[in-house]
A and B are shown apart, each in its own frame.
Chain A
Amino acid sequence: MIKANFKISKSNETDKKGSTNNNNDDLRKDLTKSEFEEFIVKSGAAGSFMVFRSEKKKDELGLDQL
């Protein structure tokens, strides 16, 4: 086992180095759902299809016959 000491630098020091902070609060602040939706719509690139979701998780893997 190794014992290590971590010196904590204040977040403004980190910011000065040009790093980005990506915790959930920041993500929400930077990219709200509506903003992201607008981005996708404006981009005109929504991919081919949607992912199918269901309360019956087994159905999500497909049905032998429908």
Chain B
Amino acid sequence: MPDNIEFTIKEDTLAKMLSLKKEMGFDEKGWDEWLEFVLNTISFEKKNISELEKIMEKVHFEKSYDEWVKNFSFNLNHIWQESSARDLDPSSNPNYKKEEHSAIVIGAGPSIPKHNHLEILAKSNYQGSIICTDRSLKPALKAGITPDKFEKYYVTSIDGIEKIKDFYTDPIISNYGHKINGIFSTVVHPLTVQNAREAGIKIHWLHALFDYNEGKKSFNQISALMVRAKNHLKGLPAIQTGGNVGTSSWFIAWQILKCAIVGLIGINHSWDENDSWEIITANFNAAKEIDRSDPLFNKLFPKIYNPEFKSYCILDPIFQFYSNALKEFITRSPLWVTTVNATEGGCIFGERITCATFTEFLTKYKI
């Protein structure tokens, strides 16, 4: 390689580079350090998407498959008796215009307390749909986001592990449960649905896709046949989960509830840059064996700059898995869907994602 390379760029491009370098906190640092940071971010994202997904798939089949089959068998009698999530689809009404409707998905990310988003929503006159992920139901109700004030109120669960049941045990959930529609995957733990049912939440079922592509002998297809054997002759809707309940809720917002505008709050899919490493690595015991100065550590826990909210965040392997999938599916969603990330931080930004403050979202979208 020659010692010197001469190249030509537009003045505007240079101005943008200088501005972004400064904005990202690299004003006093060299060009090489800044470019390396930017390139690291890009190459890491592209390289690891499929690899990460394959690993997660293998881990889940080994860790969760038996549990999902068992959960489904316990749920089946209830599934036959209870509603399909398709019953919540308003598009059978010929007067329904999806472009006039919005939904807010409430995740449980750290931006919720940081920006007082629950309090802001509770005080608003928003009349669209509220979709609480299971973990966020209790805090949302306690903050005053209740179905008395917000009539189109939903809660979602897709995870099969038993501890999710705890998200449905609180007197405040029993107080409002009868006004809340619950949307559950057929493989959630039976005690999760039982707690929701006992709190008065009306249960609606859907399938979570994971092996449908493997044909008639796949669990998705066999379980669907069993569901259709009684009452649900047309079957249930089946959604892409994207690996987590937040992404599932985004899918539910436009695919089931037919809302053309989907606002996200608390969907950080990342850690705040001010979070301690002890918190960030808490779920990753193996990370404690890796020296923090080791480049491997930076690849497992990369720091990302969000140019929309002008903030940094830190990903872990799970958040990389989640955020890569959500961002990809947003780019692939139908053009009538607009996704507004009002989280005010985190790593969900890019193609077809509008970033706005939550107050801006609430000002623009009222229904």
Distance, CA A51 to CA B325, complexed state (A): 7
Bound-state Cα–Cα, A6 to B6, Å: 6
Contact mask for chain A residues 15-30; partner B; CB cutoff 8 A; 1 contact, 0 none: 0010111111011001
- Decide: A65 and B237 in contact? CB cutoff 8 A: yes
Query: Among residues 1 to 42 in chain A, which have CB atoms less than 8 Å away from a CB atom of chain B?
Result: 1-9, 14, 17, 19-24, 26-27, 30-31, 33, 36-42
| Residue tally, chain B, CB below 8 Å to A | 80
Q: In chain A, what residue has the closest Cβ to B54?
A: A33
Closest Cβ neighbor of A9 among chain B residues: B32
Contacts of B57 in A (CB 8 A): 50-51
Query: Any chain A CB within 8 A of the CB of B210?
Result: yes
Knowing A1-B9, A23-B43, the reply to whether A37 touches B58 (Cβ < 8 A) is yes
Q: Give the complex CA separation of A27 and B295 in angstroms.
A: 9
Is B209 in contact with A39, judged by CB distance below 8 angstroms? no
Q: Is the CB of B158 within 8 A of A47?
A: no
Contact (Cβ within 8 A) B329 A61: yes
* Residues in A neighbouring B122, C-beta threshold 8 A: none
Interface on chain B toward A: helix, strand, loop, or mixed SS? helix
When A22-B43, A51-B243 are in contact, do A2 and B55 touch as well, CB less than 8 Å? no
Q: How far is the CB of A63 from chain B (nearest CB, A)?
A: 4
Find out whether the CB atom of B9 lies under 8 angstroms from the CB atom of A37.
Answer: no
- Assess the B2–A55 pair: CB atoms within 8 A: no
With an 8 A cutoff between CB atoms, is B63 at the interface?
yes
Which of A19, A40, A62, A64 is close to B55, meaning CB atoms less than 8 Å apart?
A40
Assess the A2–B59 pair: CB atoms within 8 A: no
Q: Which residues of B contact A38 (CB under 8 A)?
A: 286
Bound complex: CA A1 to CA B9 (Å): 6
Q: Which residues of A contact B (CB under 8 A)?
A: 1-9, 14, 17, 19-24, 26-27, 30-31, 33, 36-57, 59-66
Given A1-B8, A61-B240, A63-B207, 20 more pairs with CB closer than 8 A? A3-B7, A5-B6, A6-B4, A20-B298, A22-B298, A33-B55, A36-B52, A40-B317, A44-B283, A47-B56, A51-B321, A52-B210, A61-B329, A62-B237, A63-B237, A64-B237, A65-B237, A65-B238, A66-B236, A66-B238
